[in-house]
Structure 1
């Protein structure tokens, strides 16, 4: 900028000899135009060359400063003063005339495709070597003279932007900068997070979403690739961890339990991927704030969007279509909503000879608010699944689903409200969740409908008392109302010989209330720089129909860094969970049942020779006891004789070795290898003999490669191999003349096994990034070489021929997604 600064001082001083006044005239000015300064100085010297002059010149960072001091001792001082004044005004006029015009150049830097402002982006003018940085809203300002310049914008983690600009008037521009796909810089939260257990594993949700076999970019499907997880049948997506059943693993969203994580049939997640903030998986060693489980844990933290403008996406795929939308409401409030609706039943005829129809849909909405120390959110989510099986098609030989018609429906709704307060050493979390679950199934022989209305309260307090010591304690309580509508046959209509053509039925409709409060205390201590110890205890109480059961769960986790590249891991503890409300009821179960329990221990090491490579290996042992098994023995309860439908005589174990190797992005390539060697066994007292559990899979291998080719292209591949699941063998077949049907007897042990499963899935994705939106197209090639993997065996009508029921054949699934 061109400036003019001037200062005049005129004063008289008395002379002692002549009693006449001398004059001191001081002129100070600052001009960016040095030529006008020199001209003025020469004119002044020519007019006052007989006078005593003292001139001092100094250079400042903003221009040149000249000070002129003249002392006059003659009457000509008035003439010199007037001349100086005129020349000063002339110089000022000349400087103002010579001053260049300046323009205001301002703009906004946004992320290309998402339109989010980029903060702290460097905006440089190359010719002037001048720069500015964008503020939190992505805005910058430059003041420049008219001309042509080279504009450089260099945000961290984005592709550098360069453009020639010509300024003739003040202007305001918006620039869209594309993210750098090869950047090593990632956005991170300011909150310091600690691992809650040495068994904790996590993965970036974007990496999970791009995994092959993810059914349309579903990130939670990628959890099935972690070590320790057995392969579930078909595509139902059940999480079977370390030899336990699906019911032994807990699924939590924001600290509250969900009845399911996947839709049945298609195996897609019941939540939109944009609502997923963080996914944590514990194959064992779950932290103390979680209970009522005896195996693994999947913990999902929902995302509270903080957009500065409206964002969303719409998608359509082979399985369904849906949308996601988020918008700012002002004053710190934001609203997000999503819905997904399937048409998967349109493809059923490609995979099964059965007559099968069905649908699923899910929905979510979240209202959130946040400031420096407080955050508040209300999260609504729900799901609705229906599957209607009408039997074998005409001309079909072997059914896939079964022989009897049935209808299955599964629904749930949850509203989770959460409040978080953080200040200095204190973090306080309180959340309340309520809703309902419905699980129903009906066929020609029986009907079973269960409704549940749960209310869950969770309060967690964290105190960072010292940089090496943290204390956590809290309350975790559940109150639930259960309603049952059951119709079951009391006589065995399939036995030989058949006792009667019309069986008798037990029909029951009743309600039960379950109350389950729990308290926990946990500590985290770092006695040395590379040692982390976490220990505590949890107490659970279960109450129903006047009966109480108590469970105490002490747990310990340790992580010791013995070398810059080596870390030892250890976790152990007790876990318990209650029987289902049906198993505990007087009408359908056994009211004297105790809690099911498990003792877990796992240990191993983590080796990181390179920054991009990590190797993790550990062994585990999960001893399960007091498991619930069916029974038909008579018992006495308070003077009355009852049929003991269930007992706690079951026991089991799961043990093995897990290996995981991860290559982090290196030259656009990343890889992930997991291998699990394990055994899962069960037994029933008084026998001490173990038999193979139905989910025993000794060898499980997952190999994944993710390659970012460039130009918006991504190619991912996953190869899976797993031992076939155990299955009972056929012992004998008898013809029943009364019913004109064949009756088969299967072995009581799983002494047979399905063939080895193997499959290759490939995913190809292309992204086009426009200024205001992003278009993505993906193609999932499931079972690329069309492996015929048997999921189970089915027999013909007289059991003379056994045929395998194969899983999904080669199937190309495509989808299109637009994001703005």
Structure 2
């Protein structure tokens, strides 16, 4: 359970082309957690604890915005600082000082340039801050705020509010990310395991980076066509500490592509279509040898990943197309519409890694308890089907 009580004081002042916002915040967080957990690392362990955290947070913030007289140039400069009383590494406002700057300038009537830079801080998950060992001790008190420095710059070309083309490059640098001491994997790369994340011994040593470019295209023909498309090419990587090498993160899909459009036909008919495509995400294969051990499987009833081969495999690219047809009737005081929506008209299949499962049958029942193994099997994970929808809209 997580409960927050918040107090925020804020003042905004404006004069001429300037706008100034300053404020302070005071928060009190109550976090409780009752956990019973069996884990298997090199041997079986059990954690049974109750945690209560009462954390007082405080912070200061301020922003100065400027817009030139001709509105061609805008700038925003901000500063924020946060701290709390949970641990010594988190008590100083100066250690979490976050400057932010964004600039925009209209070079011509049609071409604009923009850029931004900022440093941001965030607390580790409360599951990690409140984790206790078998001696009922909080063992992650040394954790510090996570941070990300991000930079972006881009150009935008717009013509008569009917055509727009934007290109933007970005770079993000992550630091002091909590990493699992048991397997050396950052918590941010464990979010796709569909379980509680952070309830283990951690260290704030992981680093990450993400960089790429995004292209956005919009085209509007009044009463006829509305077309928009975007493509993002990027790379996402993490490493355990400064001495280790970068490896693909769990979110390193490499590209995302979307295009959607609507075309208006005579007699109030319209046809819309959307095409989406995303690169395959990397994944970590299972440790079949460890997962088949009876003591290991019985501890968590799920397979274990082979983190020595972290994200060495990659799923296939997935693409999907949707179509929608609308017919609208405009009556005296209302509008009545009918539509048919066909999602995934190609019935594309999103393929995930096969799941490793125990059959429940022990292959060597005569062996010592610590050496007994289950017979294992795999289950395919494919999803995706054509999904038709009929609908009615009414406006009065």
TM range (shorter): 0.7 to 0.9
| Mapped contact 2:292–2:358 kept (Cα < 8 A) | no
| Mapped contact 2:286–2:303 kept (Cα < 8 A) | no
Q: TM-score, normalised by structure 1?
A: 0.40
1:548 paired residue among 91, 101, 106:
91
Q: Secondary structure at the match of 2:91?
A: strand
CA distance in 2, matches of 1:771, 1:513: 61
The residue number in structure 1 matching 2:109 is: 564
For residues 12-411 of structure 1, the aligned pairs below 5 Å read: none
Answer yes or no: is 1:763 the counterpart of 2:324. yes
Answer yes or no: is 1:805 the counterpart of 2:381. yes
The residue number in structure 2 matching 1:463 is: 13
1:483 paired residue among 32, 36, 39:
32
Answer yes or no: is 1:472 the counterpart of 2:21. yes
CA distance in 1, matches of 2:292, 2:200: 30
CA distance in 2, matches of 1:558, 1:482: 39
| Mapped contact 2:153–2:170 kept (Cα < 8 A) | yes
| Mapped contact 1:584–1:592 kept (Cα < 8 A) | no
Answer yes or no: is 1:792 the counterpart of 2:353. yes
Deviation at 1:796, TM superposition (A): 6.4
Deviation at 1:564, TM superposition (A): 1.6
Change (3 A) 1:789 1:736: closer
1:814 paired residue among 381, 390, 393:
390
CA distance in 2, matches of 1:736, 1:697: 30
Change (3 A) 1:480 1:764: farther
The residue number in structure 2 matching 1:523 is: 64
Answer yes or no: is 1:627 the counterpart of 2:169. no
Q: Which runs of 5+ in 1 are unaligned?
A: 1-450, 634-642
The residue number in structure 2 matching 1:612 is: 162
Change (3 A) 1:773 1:508: farther
CA distance in 2, matches of 1:610, 1:771: 34
Q: Secondary structure at the match of 2:349?
A: coil
Deviation at 1:792, TM superposition (A): 3.2
Change (3 A) 1:695 1:734: closer
2:80 paired residue among 525, 530, 538:
538
Deviation at 1:506, TM superposition (A): 2.1
Q: Please say which structure displays the higher CA radius of gyration.
A: 1
| Mapped contact 1:522–1:537 kept (Cα < 8 A) | yes
Change (3 A) 1:744 1:506: closer
Deviation at 1:483, TM superposition (A): 1.9
Change (3 A) 1:737 1:763: closer
Deviation at 1:473, TM superposition (A): 1.8
The residue number in structure 1 matching 2:210 is: 654
Answer yes or no: is 1:672 the counterpart of 2:215. no
Change (3 A) 1:548 1:734: closer
Deviation at 1:477, TM superposition (A): 4.1
Change (3 A) 1:579 1:697: same
| Mapped contact 1:549–1:594 kept (Cα < 8 A) | no
The residue number in structure 2 matching 1:754 is: 315
| Mapped contact 2:327–2:337 kept (Cα < 8 A) | yes
2:282 paired residue among 723, 726, 734:
726
Deviations 1:73-126 (CA, angstroms, capped at 9, x unpaired):
xxxxxxxxxxxxxxxxxxxxxxxxxxxxxxxxxxxxxxxxxxxxxxxxxxxxxx
CA distance in 2, matches of 1:772, 1:745: 62
CA distance in 1, matches of 2:295, 2:140: 34
Change (3 A) 1:549 1:761: farther
Answer yes or no: is 1:695 the counterpart of 2:251. yes
Q: TM-score, normalised by structure 2?
A: 0.79
Deviation at 1:575, TM superposition (A): 0.4
| Mapped contact 2:355–2:378 kept (Cα < 8 A) | yes
| Mapped contact 2:284–2:305 kept (Cα < 8 A) | no
CA distance in 1, matches of 2:238, 2:128: 19
Deviation at 1:543, TM superposition (A): 2.9
The residue number in structure 2 matching 1:591 is: 141
Change (3 A) 1:682 1:735: closer
The residue number in structure 2 matching 1:183 is: none
| Mapped contact 1:733–1:744 kept (Cα < 8 A) | no
Change (3 A) 1:455 1:792: farther
Change (3 A) 1:484 1:795: closer
CA distance in 1, matches of 2:285, 2:351: 15
